[in-house]
Structure 1
């Protein structure tokens, strides 16, 4: 599949590009917002498309020719205010979903946030971020897209552990962290694993090999 990675220049996005290239099963295509980012990906042999999540749905749709699946891992970033969180993490995400539907793309993977489905788990300091993720996830679940929603815990820049804990078993751990590269590996493994279709789950480091953990989803 040709996989459009929205937010490819982010840390998880960059890991995902590398993982997909390494595995060779799917072709990563980067969706980025700056010309220099396009060149950076092209220099390492990855097709990149320049786009803006604050543009119209039609503009975003125009970047999706030849795409088979979309991964949304974009975010406004920690240095922006609630206004950008609303425009990127919520409205930007929904516009990408609308564009995918309009282009006949069925497969959609969303990188959300740990506990975004449960208001009692929201961090008050970044509550607008959780609100955006919560409602973007609900829009996706209410769509006709074949979605997977991955809600990773605290993200770390560490080497891959290659083992994870997902869904209900999450209550059994005291460590809610996960390396960003392992989030990317879970995304890659989810793309054509039917056990993950129309599923949403929290994700941390655990003791299960990624494929085994995903295959336990029901």
Structure 2
């Protein structure tokens, strides 16, 4: 009998990562989550998620979590920090996850970053870019490390995040000029759809709510199905 494989999730304690955890478990995926602290452990375990304590900034912790007996099919990471933080996981933490995922021979790696990273810098105003610059630089470094890793990847760059319930209006686009808002629950739904989408392989996609765009730009939606 083969051991069932897992989706490995980093960032499940809050925000988009928590919404992804709920989306995955609702679809009966087996999920293993890396948590820095015990704070949300009980909640995640109640959802049926296998929890491993460890810090993504420590590569040994990541290896212990990801290179165990249970095979990892895919990795999803939403980890990051704020511009004011002295230490952020946006690059180093995600780099560790990418490097260990290569060792684990995972089939897919989904990295959630932000509009404003990489070539989507053109989507944001100079004022917003100045405020977010340290974070966006780290996010772009993580994106480039993933692209160069040889892994099958999808990079998803959400717009401004809100915490309300999903609207169902979340869309993806390869157009780096698009900016807008999106609910975290809608980002999670898009991530889960990309997980099983060959069309999303090796793509960089911006995620916005079709009804919450900045301006009224015309753009081509990306179909993940």
Structure 2 matches for 1:133-212, cutoff 5 A?
133-168=139-174, 171=177, 176-206=180-210
Q: 2:64 aligns with which of 58, 62, 65?
A: 62
Residue pair 1:190, 1:214 contacting (<8 A) in 2 also: no
Number of aligned residues: 204
1:74 equivalent to 2:102? Answer no
Match of 2:38 in 1: 35
Note the residue ranges of structure 2 that are not aligned, 5 or more in a row.
212-220
Q: 1:18 aligns with which of 13, 19, 22?
A: 22
Match of 2:87 in 1: 84
Distance 1:197 1:153 in 2: 21
Report the CA distance shift for 1:100/1:170 in structure 2 as closer, same or farther (over 3 A).
closer
- Secondary structure of the corresponding residue to residue 40 of structure 2: helix
Give the stretch that moved more between structures: 140-149 or 41-50.
Answer: 41-50
Q: How far off its partner does 1:53 sit?
A: 1.7
* Greater helix proportion: 1
Distance 2:38 2:169 in 1: 36
Q: How far off its partner does 1:160 sit?
A: 1.1
Match of 1:107 in 2: 108
Q: How far off its partner does 1:170 sit?
A: 6.6
Give the stretch that moved more between structures: 66-75 or 39-48.
Answer: 39-48
Q: CA RMSD in A?
A: 2.1
Per-residue CA distance 1:123-165 (angstroms, 9 max, x = gap): 1012100000111101111111110000000001122121233
Report the CA distance shift for 1:168/1:188 in structure 2 as closer, same or farther (over 3 A).
closer
TM-score by length of 1: 0.85
Report the CA distance shift for 1:170/1:7 in structure 2 as closer, same or farther (over 3 A).
same
Match of 1:127 in 2: 133
